[in-house]
Structure 1
Protein backbone atom coordinates (compact mmCIF):
# COMPACT_ATOMS: atom_id res chain seq x y z
CA UNK A 1 0.00 0.00 0.00
CA UNK A 2 1.14 3.53 -0.70
CA UNK A 3 0.87 6.54 1.56
CA UNK A 4 -2.52 6.95 3.16
CA UNK A 5 -4.12 10.36 3.34
CA UNK A 6 -6.85 9.26 5.74
CA UNK A 7 -5.71 9.51 9.34
CA UNK A 8 -6.82 7.23 12.12
CA UNK A 9 -7.28 4.17 9.91
CA UNK A 10 -4.94 1.25 10.50
CA UNK A 11 -3.30 -0.60 7.61
CA UNK A 12 -5.50 -3.69 7.88
CA UNK A 13 -8.70 -1.64 7.79
CA UNK A 14 -7.39 0.51 4.93
CA UNK A 15 -6.62 -2.65 2.92
CA UNK A 16 -10.04 -4.13 3.69
CA UNK A 17 -11.76 -0.90 2.61
CA UNK A 18 -9.64 -0.70 -0.55
CA UNK A 19 -10.74 -4.21 -1.50
CA UNK A 20 -14.36 -3.41 -0.68
CA UNK A 21 -14.27 -0.19 -2.67
CA UNK A 22 -12.57 -1.80 -5.67
CA UNK A 23 -15.33 -4.43 -5.76
CA UNK A 24 -17.93 -1.66 -5.81
CA UNK A 25 -15.92 0.29 -8.36
CA UNK A 26 -16.17 -2.67 -10.74
CA UNK A 27 -19.92 -2.92 -10.16
CA UNK A 28 -20.49 0.79 -10.80
CA UNK A 29 -18.38 0.86 -13.95
CA UNK A 30 -20.18 -2.23 -15.24
CA UNK A 31 -23.56 -0.68 -14.48
CA UNK A 32 -22.53 2.48 -16.34
CA UNK A 33 -21.61 0.44 -19.41
CA UNK A 34 -24.90 -1.45 -19.17
CA UNK A 35 -26.74 1.87 -19.09
CA UNK A 36 -24.92 2.94 -22.27
CA UNK A 37 -25.79 -0.38 -23.94
CA UNK A 38 -29.41 0.34 -23.10
CA UNK A 39 -29.13 4.00 -24.16
CA UNK A 40 -27.74 3.09 -27.59
CA UNK A 41 -30.13 0.26 -28.41
CA UNK A 42 -33.57 0.99 -27.01
CA UNK A 43 -36.45 1.61 -29.39
CA UNK A 44 -40.19 2.11 -29.22
CA UNK A 45 -42.77 4.14 -27.36
CA UNK A 46 -41.18 6.48 -24.84
CA UNK A 47 -37.76 6.20 -26.46
CA UNK A 48 -36.66 9.82 -26.32
CA UNK A 49 -37.52 10.37 -22.66
CA UNK A 50 -35.68 7.25 -21.51
CA UNK A 51 -32.80 7.95 -23.89
CA UNK A 52 -32.33 11.43 -22.40
CA UNK A 53 -32.78 10.17 -18.83
CA UNK A 54 -30.00 7.66 -19.36
CA UNK A 55 -27.60 10.46 -20.26
CA UNK A 56 -28.27 11.98 -16.84
CA UNK A 57 -28.04 8.69 -14.94
CA UNK A 58 -24.79 7.83 -16.72
CA UNK A 59 -23.31 11.15 -15.60
CA UNK A 60 -24.28 10.38 -11.99
CA UNK A 61 -22.76 6.89 -12.25
CA UNK A 62 -19.46 8.25 -13.53
CA UNK A 63 -19.39 10.79 -10.72
CA UNK A 64 -20.08 7.99 -8.22
CA UNK A 65 -17.36 5.67 -9.46
CA UNK A 66 -14.91 8.55 -9.68
CA UNK A 67 -15.57 9.36 -6.01
CA UNK A 68 -15.15 5.68 -5.06
CA UNK A 69 -11.84 5.53 -6.97
CA UNK A 70 -10.60 8.67 -5.24
CA UNK A 71 -11.42 7.17 -1.82
CA UNK A 72 -9.37 4.10 -2.70
CA UNK A 73 -6.36 6.33 -3.37
CA UNK A 74 -6.99 8.34 -0.20
CA UNK A 75 -6.75 5.06 1.70
CA UNK A 76 -3.40 4.31 0.07
CA UNK A 77 -4.67 1.77 -2.44
CA UNK A 78 -4.85 1.67 -6.19
CA UNK A 79 -8.16 2.05 -7.95
CA UNK A 80 -8.54 -0.77 -10.45
CA UNK A 81 -11.10 0.09 -13.09
CA UNK A 82 -9.50 -1.53 -16.12
CA UNK A 83 -12.00 -3.33 -18.33
CA UNK A 84 -10.62 -6.84 -17.75
CA UNK A 85 -10.79 -6.33 -14.00
CA UNK A 86 -14.34 -5.00 -14.21
CA UNK A 87 -15.41 -8.08 -16.17
CA UNK A 88 -13.79 -10.37 -13.59
CA UNK A 89 -15.06 -8.56 -10.50
CA UNK A 90 -18.54 -7.26 -11.30
CA UNK A 91 -21.47 -9.12 -9.80
CA UNK A 92 -23.64 -8.30 -12.82
CA UNK A 93 -24.30 -10.79 -15.59
CA UNK A 94 -23.60 -9.75 -19.17
CA UNK A 95 -26.20 -7.30 -20.43
CA UNK A 96 -28.53 -8.93 -22.98
CA UNK A 97 -27.90 -7.77 -26.54
CA UNK A 98 -31.04 -9.30 -28.00
CA UNK A 99 -33.53 -6.80 -26.56
CA UNK A 100 -34.62 -3.53 -28.15
CA UNK A 101 -37.97 -2.41 -26.72
CA UNK A 102 -38.00 0.38 -24.18
CA UNK A 103 -39.95 -1.66 -21.62
CA UNK A 104 -37.49 -4.58 -21.90
CA UNK A 105 -34.52 -2.32 -21.34
CA UNK A 106 -36.22 -0.44 -18.52
CA UNK A 107 -36.96 -3.68 -16.65
CA UNK A 108 -33.47 -5.05 -17.24
CA UNK A 109 -31.68 -1.88 -16.20
CA UNK A 110 -33.89 -1.29 -13.16
CA UNK A 111 -33.15 -4.81 -11.91
CA UNK A 112 -29.43 -4.18 -12.35
CA UNK A 113 -29.66 -0.94 -10.38
CA UNK A 114 -31.46 -2.80 -7.58
CA UNK A 115 -28.75 -5.50 -7.55
CA UNK A 116 -26.03 -2.88 -7.19
CA UNK A 117 -28.05 -1.03 -4.53
CA UNK A 118 -28.26 -4.22 -2.45
CA UNK A 119 -24.52 -4.78 -2.80
CA UNK A 120 -23.83 -1.19 -1.74
CA UNK A 121 -25.94 -1.62 1.39
CA UNK A 122 -23.88 -4.69 2.34
CA UNK A 123 -20.70 -2.67 1.77
CA UNK A 124 -22.05 0.17 3.94
CA UNK A 125 -22.54 -2.30 6.80
CA UNK A 126 -19.06 -3.77 6.29
CA UNK A 127 -17.41 -0.33 6.30
CA UNK A 128 -19.35 0.70 9.42
CA UNK A 129 -18.40 -2.49 11.24
CA UNK A 130 -14.75 -1.89 10.29
CA UNK A 131 -14.92 1.58 11.84
CA UNK A 132 -14.47 3.51 8.59
CA UNK A 133 -17.43 5.84 8.80
CA UNK A 134 -16.12 8.02 5.96
CA UNK A 135 -16.22 5.08 3.54
CA UNK A 136 -19.63 4.07 4.90
CA UNK A 137 -20.87 7.62 4.36
CA UNK A 138 -19.50 7.75 0.81
CA UNK A 139 -21.18 4.44 -0.03
CA UNK A 140 -24.43 5.67 1.54
CA UNK A 141 -24.43 8.68 -0.77
CA UNK A 142 -23.77 6.45 -3.78
CA UNK A 143 -26.56 4.14 -2.63
CA UNK A 144 -29.02 7.04 -2.44
CA UNK A 145 -28.14 8.03 -5.99
CA UNK A 146 -28.51 4.47 -7.27
CA UNK A 147 -31.89 4.08 -5.52
CA UNK A 148 -33.16 7.36 -6.94
CA UNK A 149 -32.02 6.52 -10.46
CA UNK A 150 -33.56 3.04 -10.22
CA UNK A 151 -36.82 4.79 -9.38
CA UNK A 152 -36.43 7.27 -12.27
CA UNK A 153 -35.71 4.50 -14.76
CA UNK A 154 -38.28 2.07 -13.35
CA UNK A 155 -41.03 4.70 -13.51
CA UNK A 156 -40.87 4.27 -17.29
CA UNK A 157 -41.97 0.63 -17.13
CA UNK A 158 -45.52 -0.07 -18.29
CA UNK A 159 -47.95 -0.68 -15.46
CA UNK A 160 -49.26 -4.24 -15.21
Structure 2
Protein backbone atom coordinates (compact mmCIF):
# COMPACT_ATOMS: atom_id res chain seq x y z
CA UNK A 1 0.00 0.00 0.00
CA UNK A 2 1.41 3.44 -0.92
CA UNK A 3 2.04 6.06 1.75
CA UNK A 4 -1.05 7.20 3.56
CA UNK A 5 -1.61 10.61 5.10
CA UNK A 6 -4.08 9.26 7.67
CA UNK A 7 -2.69 8.93 11.15
CA UNK A 8 -4.01 6.48 13.67
CA UNK A 9 -5.40 3.90 11.24
CA UNK A 10 -3.66 0.63 10.59
CA UNK A 11 -3.10 -0.70 7.07
CA UNK A 12 -5.90 -3.28 7.36
CA UNK A 13 -8.45 -0.64 8.33
CA UNK A 14 -7.27 1.66 5.57
CA UNK A 15 -7.55 -1.14 3.05
CA UNK A 16 -11.10 -1.92 4.22
CA UNK A 17 -12.09 1.74 3.97
CA UNK A 18 -10.55 2.08 0.50
CA UNK A 19 -12.64 -0.87 -0.69
CA UNK A 20 -15.76 0.57 0.96
CA UNK A 21 -15.19 4.04 -0.50
CA UNK A 22 -14.64 2.58 -3.97
CA UNK A 23 -17.82 0.51 -3.71
CA UNK A 24 -19.89 3.58 -2.91
CA UNK A 25 -17.99 5.57 -5.57
CA UNK A 26 -19.08 3.02 -8.19
CA UNK A 27 -22.71 3.45 -7.15
CA UNK A 28 -22.39 7.23 -7.08
CA UNK A 29 -20.88 7.28 -10.57
CA UNK A 30 -23.65 5.01 -11.84
CA UNK A 31 -26.33 7.15 -10.19
CA UNK A 32 -24.85 10.34 -11.64
CA UNK A 33 -25.13 8.87 -15.14
CA UNK A 34 -28.71 7.71 -14.46
CA UNK A 35 -29.62 11.24 -13.40
CA UNK A 36 -28.09 12.64 -16.58
CA UNK A 37 -29.91 9.98 -18.64
CA UNK A 38 -33.20 11.20 -17.17
CA UNK A 39 -32.16 14.85 -17.58
CA UNK A 40 -31.59 14.34 -21.30
CA UNK A 41 -34.69 12.28 -22.00
CA UNK A 42 -37.57 13.38 -19.78
CA UNK A 43 -40.77 14.60 -21.38
CA UNK A 44 -44.01 15.70 -19.79
CA UNK A 45 -45.70 18.12 -17.46
CA UNK A 46 -43.21 19.92 -15.22
CA UNK A 47 -40.35 19.25 -17.63
CA UNK A 48 -38.27 22.39 -17.14
CA UNK A 49 -38.30 22.28 -13.34
CA UNK A 50 -37.28 18.61 -13.19
CA UNK A 51 -34.78 19.06 -16.03
CA UNK A 52 -33.02 21.86 -14.13
CA UNK A 53 -33.26 20.02 -10.78
CA UNK A 54 -31.57 16.96 -12.26
CA UNK A 55 -28.62 19.06 -13.42
CA UNK A 56 -28.19 20.35 -9.85
CA UNK A 57 -28.52 16.83 -8.45
CA UNK A 58 -25.88 15.51 -10.87
CA UNK A 59 -23.52 18.28 -9.74
CA UNK A 60 -24.03 17.29 -6.09
CA UNK A 61 -23.43 13.63 -6.91
CA UNK A 62 -20.17 14.55 -8.63
CA UNK A 63 -19.12 16.52 -5.54
CA UNK A 64 -19.94 13.50 -3.35
CA UNK A 65 -17.95 11.25 -5.65
CA UNK A 66 -15.04 13.67 -5.37
CA UNK A 67 -15.14 13.46 -1.56
CA UNK A 68 -15.05 9.67 -1.66
CA UNK A 69 -12.30 9.58 -4.29
CA UNK A 70 -10.12 12.07 -2.44
CA UNK A 71 -10.54 10.19 0.86
CA UNK A 72 -9.42 7.04 -0.97
CA UNK A 73 -6.29 8.79 -2.24
CA UNK A 74 -5.56 10.26 1.21
CA UNK A 75 -5.58 6.71 2.56
CA UNK A 76 -3.00 5.66 -0.01
CA UNK A 77 -5.43 3.91 -2.33
CA UNK A 78 -6.55 4.47 -5.89
CA UNK A 79 -9.98 5.86 -6.59
CA UNK A 80 -11.73 3.67 -9.13
CA UNK A 81 -13.95 6.27 -10.73
CA UNK A 82 -13.99 5.38 -14.39
CA UNK A 83 -17.09 4.31 -16.25
CA UNK A 84 -15.58 0.86 -16.68
CA UNK A 85 -14.88 0.54 -12.96
CA UNK A 86 -18.39 1.71 -12.11
CA UNK A 87 -19.88 -0.75 -14.59
CA UNK A 88 -18.04 -3.64 -13.04
CA UNK A 89 -18.74 -2.68 -9.43
CA UNK A 90 -22.04 -0.84 -9.14
CA UNK A 91 -24.70 -2.50 -7.03
CA UNK A 92 -27.53 -0.41 -8.46
CA UNK A 93 -30.04 -1.81 -10.93
CA UNK A 94 -29.41 -0.92 -14.58
CA UNK A 95 -31.21 2.28 -15.55
CA UNK A 96 -33.74 1.90 -18.39
CA UNK A 97 -32.49 4.01 -21.30
CA UNK A 98 -35.71 4.08 -23.34
CA UNK A 99 -37.83 6.04 -20.85
CA UNK A 100 -39.21 9.45 -21.70
CA UNK A 101 -42.19 9.81 -19.33
CA UNK A 102 -41.26 12.20 -16.54
CA UNK A 103 -43.13 10.21 -13.88
CA UNK A 104 -41.44 6.97 -14.89
CA UNK A 105 -38.04 8.67 -14.60
CA UNK A 106 -38.95 10.08 -11.19
CA UNK A 107 -39.97 6.64 -9.92
CA UNK A 108 -36.79 5.01 -11.29
CA UNK A 109 -34.55 7.70 -9.82
CA UNK A 110 -36.19 7.74 -6.39
CA UNK A 111 -35.83 3.96 -6.20
CA UNK A 112 -32.11 4.17 -6.96
CA UNK A 113 -31.55 7.07 -4.57
CA UNK A 114 -33.19 5.08 -1.77
CA UNK A 115 -31.03 2.06 -2.57
CA UNK A 116 -27.89 4.20 -2.65
CA UNK A 117 -28.89 5.85 0.62
CA UNK A 118 -29.41 2.49 2.32
CA UNK A 119 -25.95 1.35 1.22
CA UNK A 120 -24.42 4.60 2.45
CA UNK A 121 -25.98 3.99 5.87
CA UNK A 122 -24.46 0.51 5.88
CA UNK A 123 -21.11 2.12 5.01
CA UNK A 124 -21.54 4.52 7.95
CA UNK A 125 -21.91 1.53 10.26
CA UNK A 126 -18.95 -0.29 8.71
CA UNK A 127 -16.70 2.77 9.03
CA UNK A 128 -17.81 3.21 12.64
CA UNK A 129 -17.09 -0.44 13.46
CA UNK A 130 -13.65 -0.09 11.85
CA UNK A 131 -12.91 2.96 14.01
CA UNK A 132 -12.60 5.42 11.12
CA UNK A 133 -14.62 8.40 12.32
CA UNK A 134 -13.59 10.59 9.38
CA UNK A 135 -14.83 8.16 6.74
CA UNK A 136 -17.95 7.60 8.85
CA UNK A 137 -18.54 11.37 8.87
CA UNK A 138 -17.98 11.59 5.11
CA UNK A 139 -20.58 8.88 4.48
CA UNK A 140 -22.98 10.63 6.87
CA UNK A 141 -22.63 13.89 4.94
CA UNK A 142 -23.19 12.13 1.61
CA UNK A 143 -26.15 10.16 3.00
CA UNK A 144 -27.92 13.34 4.12
CA UNK A 145 -27.53 14.88 0.66
CA UNK A 146 -28.69 11.71 -1.10
CA UNK A 147 -31.80 11.55 1.11
CA UNK A 148 -32.55 15.21 0.42
CA UNK A 149 -32.16 14.75 -3.33
CA UNK A 150 -34.41 11.68 -3.26
CA UNK A 151 -37.01 13.85 -1.54
CA UNK A 152 -36.53 16.74 -4.03
CA UNK A 153 -36.96 14.41 -6.99
CA UNK A 154 -39.84 12.50 -5.41
CA UNK A 155 -41.68 15.73 -4.61
CA UNK A 156 -42.35 15.98 -8.36
CA UNK A 157 -44.48 12.82 -8.32
CA UNK A 158 -48.26 13.35 -8.28
CA UNK A 159 -50.05 12.90 -4.99
CA UNK A 160 -52.08 9.70 -4.91
Which TM-score tier does this pair reach, normalised by the shorter chain? over 0.9
Match of 1:4 in 2: 4
Match of 1:82 in 2: 82
Match of 1:138 in 2: 138
* Structure 2: runs of 5 or more not aligned: none
- Compute the RMSD of aligned alpha carbons: 0.6
- Give deviations 1:26-60, integer Å, cap 9, x for gaps: 00000000000000000010000000001111110
- Give deviations 1:42-94, integer Å, cap 9, x for gaps: 00100000000011111100000001000001111000112111011001121
Query: Aligned residues, how many?
Result: 160
Q: TM-score, normalised by structure 1?
A: 0.99
Q: TM-score, normalised by structure 2?
A: 0.99
Question: How far apart in 1 are the matches of 2:119 and 2:39?
Answer: 24
Match of 1:105 in 2: 105
Question: How far apart in 1 are the matches of 2:133 and 2:141?
Answer: 12
Match of 2:117 in 1: 117
Question: How far apart in 1 are the matches of 2:47 and 2:2?
Answer: 47
Stretches of 4+ moved more than 2 A in 1?
none
* Structure 1: runs of 5 or more not aligned: none
- Give deviations 1:108-148, integer Å, cap 9, x for gaps: 10110000000000000000000000000000000000000
